[in-house]
Amino acid sequence: MIEEGSKSSKSMVEKRQLFMEMRAQNFDVIRLSTYRTACKLRFVQKRCNLHLVDVWNMIEAFRDNGLSTLDHNAEINVSRLETILSSIFYQLNKRLPTTHQINVDQSIGLLLNFIVATYDSEGHGKLTVFAMKAMLATMCGGKILDKLRYIFSQISDSNGVMVFAKFDQFLREVLKLPTAVFEGPSFGYTEHSVRTCFPQQKKILLNTFLDVLMADPPPQCLVWLPLMHRLANVENVFHPVECSYCQSESMMGFRYRCQQCHGYQLCQSCFWRGHASGPHSNQHQMKEHSSWKSPAKKLSHAISKSLGCMPMGEPPHPVFPEAAERPQDLAHTTTLESPSRLDEEHRLIARYAARLAAEASNSTQCPPTDLSFNFDANKQQRQLIAELENKNREILQEIQRLRLEHEQASQPTPEKAQQNPTLLAELRLLRHRKDELERRMSALQESRRELMVQLEGLMRLLKDEEQKQAVQTGSSPHSSPSHSASCTMPMPIRSTSAGSTPTHTPQDCLAGVGDDVLDAFSQGVPRNLRNDLLVAADSITNTMSSLVKELHSVDDGLEDEECNMRNGREKAESE
C-alpha cells in the first residue's frame, strides 16, 4: 500500500511538472492577456520540443499512424496517443544531428500529461482524433500559413468551402489551450466565437479564411496564435538601443517606441510589465518593432519607398486558386483518390506481373551461369544503392549540423555587445565632449555673426564721419578722420523718457559692441579703428579654428574607438 501511494504521488508530480515550471517563469506579471497567453504557450511548445517538429512532419506522423482514414469524432485511448507521440519524437531524433539529440522519454511524458490535462480533465482516458490533430497542428513548429492551410483542409467540404460546424468544433478544441494555461477568462470558447471571426461572410473559401485569420488584428479569440509565431521569430533579434526605463544598453526580442514621447523606447520586459518613467504614460500609443535598422538603412529604405523602387505593401499570404484543394494529409503519397484511378493501378499491376512471368519463362532457357551472373549483379546493385543511401543520409545530417552551428554562431548575444565596458565608457566620454564642443562652436558662430553686423555698422559710421569732417574743413573725403566728443550714430540708440531730448555719446553709440571696439573708441587720440576691429574679428576666427581642430580630433578618436570595438566584436565572433 505504501509503494502504491508513493507511485501515485510520483505520477501526480510528473503530471504537474510542466505547470510548476511554467509558474516558476512568473508569466503572470505580464499585464496584457494576449502577451501573457502567447508566452505561456510558447514555453509549453519549447519545453515539450514541439517547436522542432514542422507541421509537415506532424501531418506525416498522422498518416503513418493511420489517423488520416479515421473519422474526426473517433476516439483514441491514452496508450495509442503515447504511441503516436513516440513515433513523432523518435522520427525527430533521426532528423537531428547527433550533437542536438533530445530526451525522447521526457518530451513524450511532458506532452502526454499536458494533452491529457487539456482534453481529458474528467479522466475518461480517451480523446477524439480531431482534438489531437487540432492541438498538435497548432502547437508544432512551422509557418502559420501552412498550419492554417492544413486546418482549413480538415474543416472544408469537397467543394473547398468551409463548414461552419467544423470550424466551430475547431475553435472549441483549440481554445482549450489558453484555458489549460489559466487564461480561460480572456480566450475561452463561447457560442458566439464563430460569428466573431466571420460576422458577415456566408461562403468561406481558403483565401477568405486566410485573410481573416492572418489579418492585423486577427479575430479576438485567436489573437494569441499569430503573436506566438512572432515571439518565436524575434527571440534572438538584437536591438542596440538603451531602454528608457531599466537603462539596459541593449534589447532582445521586441522593441517598443512611444509615438508621443520623442526618443522614448522600452524593452519587451518593461513594456509587458507596464513600466513607465518621466512624462511617459502607459496610455500613450506604442509601436512594436521586431527588427533593428540603422539610421543609414532607414534613410535608404525611405528614399527607395518614396521613389517607388519598392512595393508599398505586400499581401499577408499568396493567393491560392479557388478550386478545392486536395486534403493535406499526405495520403496521396500512398493511396489513390478515386475508384477509376484504383482500377487503373490494378491493370498496371496485372500488366507488370504478366511481364515478370514472361521474363521468368525466358530466363529458364538461359544457362545457369547467366542466372548466377544476373543474381550477383542485382546483389551488387542493391549493395551499391544501400551504400549511396547511407552516404546521402550522413551528408544530410552533416549539412543540418553545419547549418545549426552557423545559425548559433551568427546570432548576436548581449555578451558580445558588452565585451569591453572600459572602451564603451571612453566612447561615451568622447561623445559627451563632442557635444560640448559643438554647442560652444554654435555660440562662437553666433558671436561672430553679431560682430560682423557691428563691424558693418561701424564702417558705415566711420565713412559718414569722414565725409562730415571733410565738408567742415574743406579737405578731401579721403583725409584722416578725427574723432569728436559727440557723434550721431545710427546704431544702437537708447530709448529716452517722454519729453526729453535724446543725446548721443560715444559710449551710448557703442552699447552692445565688443571690448576691443569700446577700447578703440575710448581713446582720445586718433587711432586706426579698422585695425582694432579686424584684430577682434581675427581673435574670434582663431578661436573657432582651434575649436574646429579640437572637434575633428574628437571625431577621429570616436572613429578609432568604434573601429576597435568593431574589430573586437568580429574577433570574438570568429572565436
Per-residue confidence (pLDDT) for residue 463, from 0 to 100: 80
C-alpha cell belonging to residue 401? 549540423
Per-residue confidence (pLDDT) for residue 155, from 0 to 100: 95
Per-residue confidence (pLDDT) for residue 2, from 0 to 100: 47
Nearest to 58 by CA among 176, 152, 139: 139
d(C-alpha 150, C-alpha 147), whole Å: 5
Per-residue confidence (pLDDT) for residue 559, from 0 to 100: 64
Decide which of 522 and 237 is more confident.
Answer: 237
Decide which of 92 and 434 is more confident.
Answer: 92
Per-residue confidence (pLDDT) for residue 11, from 0 to 100: 52
C-alpha cell belonging to residue 444? 562662437
Dump pLDDT digits (tens) for 78-87. Answer: 999 999 999 9
Decide which of 290 and 12 is more confident.
Answer: 290
* Cell 491529457 -> residue: 116
Q: Cβ distance 489 to 461 under 8 Å?
A: yes
DSSP assigned state of 438 = H
DSSP 30-85: -S-HHHHHHHHHHHHHHHTTGGGSBHHHHHHHHHHTT-TTS-TT-EEEHHHHHHHH
Report the percent of the chain where pLDDT is more than 70: 64
Q: Is 18 exposed, middle or buried (0-12, 13-18, 19+ CB in 10 A)?
A: buried
Dump pLDDT digits (tens) for 173-222. Answer: 999 999 999 999 999 998 888 888 988 777 899 999 999 999 988 999 99
Phi/psi of residue 526, nearest 5 degrees? -60, 145
Per-residue confidence (pLDDT) for residue 291, from 0 to 100: 81
C-alpha cell belonging to residue 358? 514472361
The contacts of residue 82 (CB under 8 Å, 6+ apart) are 108, 112
Q: Cβ distance 155 to 172 under 8 Å?
A: no
d(C-alpha 291, C-alpha 99), whole Å: 30
Q: Is 79 exposed, middle or buried (0-12, 13-18, 19+ CB in 10 A)?
A: exposed
DSSP assigned state of 77 = E
Dump pLDDT digits (tens) for 96-152. Answer: 999 999 999 999 999 999 999 999 988 889 999 999 999 999 999 999 999 999 999
C-alpha cell belonging to residue 378? 542485382
Work out the average pLDDT over 229-241: 91
Work out the average pLDDT over 45-57: 95
* Cell 547467366 -> residue: 370
Decide which of 478 and 422 is more confident.
Answer: 422
Is the whole-model pTM more than 0.85?
no
Q: Cβ distance 106 to 47 under 8 Å?
A: no
Q: Cβ distance 77 to 129 under 8 Å?
A: no
Please, which pLDDT band fits residue 58 given cuts at 50, 70 and 90? very high
d(C-alpha 362, C-alpha 36), whole Å: 74
Please, which pLDDT band fits residue 396 given cuts at 50, 70 and 90? confident
Please, which pLDDT band fits residue 278 given cuts at 50, 70 and 90? confident
C-alpha cell belonging to residue 20? 510548476
Decide which of 187 and 573 is more confident.
Answer: 187
Phi/psi of residue 527, nearest 5 degrees? -150, 150
Q: Cβ distance 52 to 101 under 8 Å?
A: no
Name the helix (H) or strand (E) containing 506: helix 506-509
Report the percent of the chain where pLDDT is more than 90: 37
Dump pLDDT digits (tens) for 330-368. Answer: 554 444 444 555 555 566 666 666 666 666 665 555 444
Per-residue confidence (pLDDT) for residue 481, from 0 to 100: 43
Q: Is 509 exposed, middle or buried (0-12, 13-18, 19+ CB in 10 A)?
A: buried
Per-residue confidence (pLDDT) for residue 292, from 0 to 100: 76
Is pLDDT above 60 for 417? no
Decide which of 362 and 275 is more confident.
Answer: 275
Highest mean pLDDT among 135-144, 477-486, 533-542: 135-144
d(C-alpha 522, C-alpha 79), whole Å: 108
Please, which pLDDT band fits residue 89 given cuts at 50, 70 and 90? very high
